[in-house]
Amino acid sequence: MTEVADINAGANHDSNSELRTLADKVCEQLVTAIVRGDIPPGQKISEPELARTYGISRGPLREAIRRLEGLRLVVRIPHVGARVVSLSPEELVEIYRVREALEGMACRLAADNMSTAEINSLRELLYQHERNIEQIDGRSYFQKEGDLDFHYRIVQSSKNSKLFELLGGELYHLVRMYRYQFSVSKSRPQRALKEHHRILDAIEERDGELAELLMRRHISRARRNIEDRLNPTNKEERE
């Protein structure tokens, strides 16, 4: 009897592990699709359609969608269903103002805490970003998540767990989505890359005050770019 129970427990464990593996895989694919705008903000999540697209059953797909809700990329609306999140212009600008303050602070701390090896590794990442941008003729600046993301690495290098919880956790993929979708332009990708290099130069020189200032300016420019895209009269009034 015990042997049968053990076999059943083992089978259930294998089944659960397989479910988690499939959910992990499809969640990662869906995150990328949402960040790139292949599944645009506000679009309804169709389980049958996604199951066909990704070739999986509804069980792991539903688990993946639950994870997307946890990442704040999907919201479930009563009597409507799940949709890709769509922020109002006001909400988006508010998030960018929070980023400006907190990522500026992260840069100041990174100037004190990053090792030379970490700085050199981040510089290599920027060179890789440069090659990626050139390969698509400067049309966009897509950064993969986690350690392949300049902003993620800066926040991580601040060595401040509360900053990381906010910027590397709760808001991370939501910010990635809008960062990418508003970087698709003729001039912004190359300009953003140059700004990243200057920020890293300041960190390398251990000038935390300058690093913070440059990061705040960098995010402020990105915010103004978003405001101009959402409301072109803003740009006309400044000019």
Q: What is the mean pLDDT of residues 63-78?
A: 91
3-state secondary structure of 155: helix
Q: What is the mean pLDDT of residues 69-90?
A: 89
What DSSP element (H or E) covers 75?
strand 74-77
pLDDT at 150: 94
Q: What is the mean pLDDT of residues 43-62?
A: 90
pLDDT at 8: 47
Split at pLDDT 50, 70, 90, the class of 169 is: confident
**pLDDT surpasses 70 at 128:** yes
Q: What is the mean pLDDT of residues 112-141?
A: 90
Q: What is the mean pLDDT of residues 186-211?
A: 92
pLDDT at 233: 63
Split at pLDDT 50, 70, 90, the class of 19 is: low
Split at pLDDT 50, 70, 90, the class of 36 is: confident
**pLDDT surpasses 80 at 26:** yes
Q: Which two tokens stand for residue 150?
A: 């300049």
3-state secondary structure of 162: helix
Split at pLDDT 50, 70, 90, the class of 114 is: very high
Q: Encode pLDDT of 146-161 as tens digits.
A: 888 999 999 999 999 9
Spatial CB neighbours of 60, under 8 Å, sequence gap ≥ 6:
19, 22, 23, 26
